[in-house]
């Protein structure tokens, strides 16, 4: 590998120029003295590699003398991130999370460091308010800087017409993982990379993981494993609490439970954020008067949970719950299982599919279930269809209208008033490039590899129209993700979990002697709770999900005391 260290680090480039002092603060002598009890001194020697990308459980290093250079490894060259000198410290979010790092650290000049192990770093963050703020802000800004730098040794080679490429883009982006995205159809230099790594054109999408491992059309699990996104942990440990699902409800439960000292594991089949993560802008969540994207909200919540010590595993699916065993057992894929004394079910809901035979064929190649910047990039300046009459459809239509030529909003009902918030209806009315088509539904989809044509009919005369439109956003509601609970947890006729006063005496499991009535968010099994959209009778909103997730922790404590 040719070494081509450039002089400027990431903090010298826009948009971070004014934030260098926050991104790479210098600790005072008094602050370093406070850190002494948490770390050990060690000598460092010029040229010594202190950490490589992908390494887990690296200590944070406070430089006492000498210097350390941090670089992002590229395929052909290194890019300088920063040089830490006396008073500066290493690390970014992955240091706190104990997951695979993103950069290479190498000693530039001999000297001495104070090495602080991950568990001690977490103690400092939980107990020292001043240093907690300083470290957290620096770690978050550094991660954002690494993402924005568009450098690194994780490369996604794919086609902008491919569903698998979209899935991988979503997975990496929503996990806040820096990667270089190259389009095989338009980016220069792609052919050379394909040839160099012996990849045939029909094998894309490909993830070049750390510039060494070639993953051909990998699953999210394979990408997570290769990049060290999850901690390596001991599955024999019995947790206080396992939260299943890292949407707003699950993340809130994790924040409150971990901050109150419980040993918490969160399992997430996709990426943290849930349905909210697919929203371009949430405008009715308290405290964000100008709105916040679902991704940003989820990112903050995830960091907050991890700061308190919750362990979040992405690309892990709860396949089955075994209620009959104590501690409770959750079966995961690959023959593994995890155990806990209490469980919070926060698996929310999955998007409803279009009832057309070939709809799944165009998933990701013209049919989308989210309208964020990732999907919008594919249909910029084109005509698109949004299907649905709820708030998610309204938000998608308004957002896409700012990126696309025309948005056709298709609803089965005679209007929007019964299903959409007033503020969104007004925005739709005021957008010149949104056409509302009421009493209209899609009847067929056509195309080759990509969706090319859509037909719809409009009641009462069922007039049929066909349009050359290749992008359809389905925002038609969701069904609960509870298949993994069947035969164990009491559900209602639509599959939502029943809790508290929705349960009857007949729901009580025969195998146990109940010691008390179920609490309001408790299922028919003591110590198993349900929160957020998955719960029967819940209000399907971010704030409600967050509220239930937070509130259930008090009930978890009660169950753990029983
Ligand atoms: C596009 C869109 C826009 C929206 N906009 C707004 C808005 O502006 N304001 C508002 O208040 N609400 C909005 N909502 C609704 C809001 O997002 C939901 O009410 C909220 O996300 C529900 O949170 P939850 O945690 O209960 O479930 P979800 O968000 O559905 O999260 C559930 C999580 O569980 C995971 N999961 C599922 N099954 C498993 C399993 N077996 N193992 C492991 N993990 C699993 C899922 O991958 C998911 O991440 C919007 C919804 C959508 C789709």
Distance 342 CA to ligand 1 centre (A): 22
Average pLDDT (74-96) is 92
Q: What is the pLDDT of residues 166-188, one digit of tens each?
A: 899 989 998 989 999 999 888 87
Q: What is the pLDDT of residues 397-448, one digit of tens each?
A: 999 999 999 999 999 999 999 999 999 999 999 999 999 999 999 999 999 8
Q: Residue 2: which pLDDT band, with cuts at 50, 70 and 90?
A: very low
- The residue among 194 and 531 whose pLDDT is bigger is 531
Name the band, by pLDDT with cuts 50, 70 and 90, for residue 369.
confident
Residue 45 has pLDDT above 70, yes or no: yes
Share of the chain above pLDDT 70, in %: 96
pLDDT mean across residues, the chain: 91
Q: What are phi and psi of 219, to 5 degrees?
A: -75, 165
Confidence of residue 232 (pLDDT cuts 50, 70, 90): low
DSSP 353: P
Contact 562, 516 (CB under 8 A): yes
The whole model's pTM is what?
0.84
Query: 121-130, 192-201, 338-347, 357-366: lowest mean pLDDT where?
Result: 357-366
Does the beta carbon of 394 sit less than 6 angstroms from any atom of ligand 1? Answer: no
Whether 248 and 292 have beta carbons less than 8 Å apart is answered as: no
In the chain, the N- to C-terminal Cα span, in Å, equals: 60
481 lines ligand 1 (CB under 6 A): yes
Helices (H), 84-229: 93-97, 118-127, 129-148, 163-174, 190-196, 220-227
Q: What is the pLDDT of residues 57-81, one digit of tens each?
A: 999 999 999 999 999 988 778 989 9
pLDDT tens, residue by residue, 321-347:
999 899 999 999 778 899 999 999 999
527 Cβ below 6 A of ligand 1 = no
Is the pLDDT reported for residue 302 higher than 70? yes
In angstroms, the CA 477 to CA 15 distance is: 38
Q: How far is the CA of 418 from the centre of ligand 1 (A)?
A: 22
Distance of alpha carbon 449 from alpha carbon 467, whole angstroms: 17
pLDDT of residue 4: 39
Check if 343 has its Cβ closer than 6 Å to any atom of ligand 1: no
| Average pLDDT, integer, range 74-97 | 92
Which pLDDT score, from 0 to 100, does residue 14 have?
65
Q: Does 216 sit in the ligand 1 pocket, CB within 6 Å?
A: no
H or E element, residue 558 = helix 542-561
DSSP per-residue codes, 120-149: HHHHHHHH-HHHHHHHHHHHHHHHHHHHHT
Residues 6+ apart with CB under 8 A from 113: 41, 42, 44, 61, 62, 63, 64, 66, 68
Beta carbons of 125 and 135 less than 8 angstroms apart: yes
pLDDT at 242: 98
Q: How close is the Cα of 348 to the center of ligand 1, in Å?
A: 5
What gap in Å lies between CA 384 and CA 57, rounded to an integer? 46
Q: Phi and psi (nearest 5°) for 532?
A: 80, -155
- Strands in 160-263 per DSSP E: 180-183, 206-209, 213-216, 238-244
How many Cα atoms sit within 13 Å of 432 on the Cβ side? 1
Residue 66 Cβ contacting ligand 1 at under 6 Å: no
Residue 533: CB within 6 Å of ligand 1?
yes
The answer to whether residue 5 scores a pLDDT higher than 50 is no
Q: Is 244 in the pocket of ligand 1 (CB under 6 A)?
A: yes
Cβ–Cβ < 8 Å for 23, 11: yes
> Distance between CA atoms of 484 and 15, rounded to whole angstroms?
45
**For residue 7, is pLDDT > 50?**
no
- What is the torsional sign of CA 330, 336, 339, 345? negative
Confidence of residue 1 (pLDDT cuts 50, 70, 90): very low
The residue-averaged pLDDT of 251-274 equals 96
pLDDT band at 8 (very low <50, low <70, confident <90, very high): low
Q: How far is CA 295 from CA 84, 269, 403, in A?
A: 31, 16, 19
Q: Decide if pLDDT at 6 tops 70.
A: no
Say if ligand 1 is within 6 A of residue 271 CB. Answer: no
Q: What is the pLDDT of residue 171?
A: 93
Helix/strand/coil for 191: helix
Angstrom distances, CA of residue 377 to CA of 139, 371, 381: 29, 10, 9
190-197: Cβ within 8 A, 24+ apart = 190/157, 193/75, 193/155, 193/157, 194/157
If DSSP codes are grouped into helix, strand and coil, which group holds residue 285? coil
Ligand 1 centroid to residue 143 C-alpha, Å:
25
**CA–CA dist 362, 206 (Å, integer):** 20
pLDDT for res 17: 65
Within 10 angstroms of residue 69's Cβ, the number of other Cβ atoms is 20
What is the mean pLDDT of the segment spanning 220-237?
A: 85
Q: What is the pLDDT of residue 227?
A: 92
The preferred substitution site among 245, 283, 305 for testing ligand 1, maximizing ligand atoms within 8 Å of CB, is 245
What single DSSP character describes residue 184? T
Would you say residue 55 has pLDDT above 60?
yes
Dump pLDDT digits (tens) for 468-497.
Answer: 999 999 998 778 999 999 989 999 998 999
| Cα–chain center distance at 542 | 15
Half-sphere exposure of 49 (CA within 13 A, CB side): 8
Token duo for residue 456:
């719809």
Query: What would the mean pLDDT of 296-322 be, rounded to a whole number?
Result: 94
Q: What order of strands is seen across the sheet that includes strand 472-474?
A: 367-368, 472-474, 383-387, 406-410, 434-437
């Amino acid at each position: 590998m040719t070494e081509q260290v450039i002089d400027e680090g990431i903090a010298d480039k826009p948009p971070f120029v004014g934030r260098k002092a926050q991104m790479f603060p210098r600790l005072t002598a008094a602050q370093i003295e406070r850190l002494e009890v948490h770390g050990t001194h060690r000598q460092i020697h010029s040229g010594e590699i202190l950490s490589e990308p992908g390494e887990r459980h690296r200590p944070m290093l406070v430089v006492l003398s000498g210097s350390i250079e941090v670089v992002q490894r590229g395929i052909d060259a290194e890019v300088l991130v920063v040089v830490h000198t006396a008073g500066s410290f290493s690390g970014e979010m992955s240091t706190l999370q104990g997951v695979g790092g993103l950069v290479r650290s190498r000693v530039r000049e001999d000297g001495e460091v104070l090495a602080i192990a991950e568990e001690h770093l977490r103690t400092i963050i939980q107990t020292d308010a001043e240093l907690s703020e300083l470290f957290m802000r620096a770690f978050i800004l550094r991660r954002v800087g690494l993402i924005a730098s568009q450098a690194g040794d994780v490369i996604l080679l794919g086609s902008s017409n491919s569903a698998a490429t979209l899935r991988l883009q979503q997975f990496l982006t929503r996990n806040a993982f820096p990667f270089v995205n190259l389009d095989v159809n338009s980016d220069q230099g792609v052919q050379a990379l394909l040839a160099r790594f012996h990849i045939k054109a029909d094998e894309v999408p490909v993830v070049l993981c750390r510039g060494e491992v070639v993953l051909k059309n990998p699953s999210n699990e394979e990408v997570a494993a290769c990049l060290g996104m999850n901690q390596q942990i001991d599955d024999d440990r019995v947790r206080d609490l396992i939260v299943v699902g890292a949407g707003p409800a699950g993340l809130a439960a994790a924040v409150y439970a971990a901050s109150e000292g419980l040993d918490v594991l969160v399992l997430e089949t996709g990426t943290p954020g849930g349905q909210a993560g697919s929203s371009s802008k949430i405008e009715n969540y308290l405290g964000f008067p100008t709105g916040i994207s679902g991704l940003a909200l989820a990112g903050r919540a995830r960091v907050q949970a991890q700061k308190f010590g919750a362990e979040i595993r992405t690309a892990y699916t709860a396949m089955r719950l075994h209620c009959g065993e104590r501690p409770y057992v959750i079966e995961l894929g690959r023959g593994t299982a995890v155990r806990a004394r209490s469980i919070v079910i926060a698996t929310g809901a999955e998007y409803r599919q279009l009832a057309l035979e070939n709809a799944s064929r165009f998933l990701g190649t013209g049919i989308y279930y989210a309208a964020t910047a990732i999907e919008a990039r594919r249909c910029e300046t084109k005509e698109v269809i949004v299907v649905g009459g709820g708030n998610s459809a309204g938000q998608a239509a308004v957002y896409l209208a700012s990126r696309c030529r025309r948005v056709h909003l298709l609803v089965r009902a005679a209007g929007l008033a019964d299903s959409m918030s007033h503020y969104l209806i007004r925005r739709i009315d005021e957008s010149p490039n949104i056409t509302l088509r009421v009493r209209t539904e899609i009847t067929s989809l056509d195309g080759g590899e990509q969706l090319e044509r859509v037909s719809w009919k409009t009641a009462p005369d069922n007039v049929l129209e066909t349009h050359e439109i290749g992008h359809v956003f389905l925002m038609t509601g969701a069904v609960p993700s509870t298949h993994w609970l069947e035969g164990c947890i009491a559900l209602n006729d639509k599959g939502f979990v029943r809790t508290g006063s929705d349960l009857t005496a007949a729901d009580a499991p025969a195998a146990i002697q109940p010691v008390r009535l179920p609490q309001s968010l408790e299922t028919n099994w003591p110590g198993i709770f349900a929160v957020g959209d998955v719960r029967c009778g819940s209000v399907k909103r971010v704030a409600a999900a967050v509220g239930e997730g937070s509130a259930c922790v008090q009930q978890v404590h009660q169950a753990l005391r029983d």
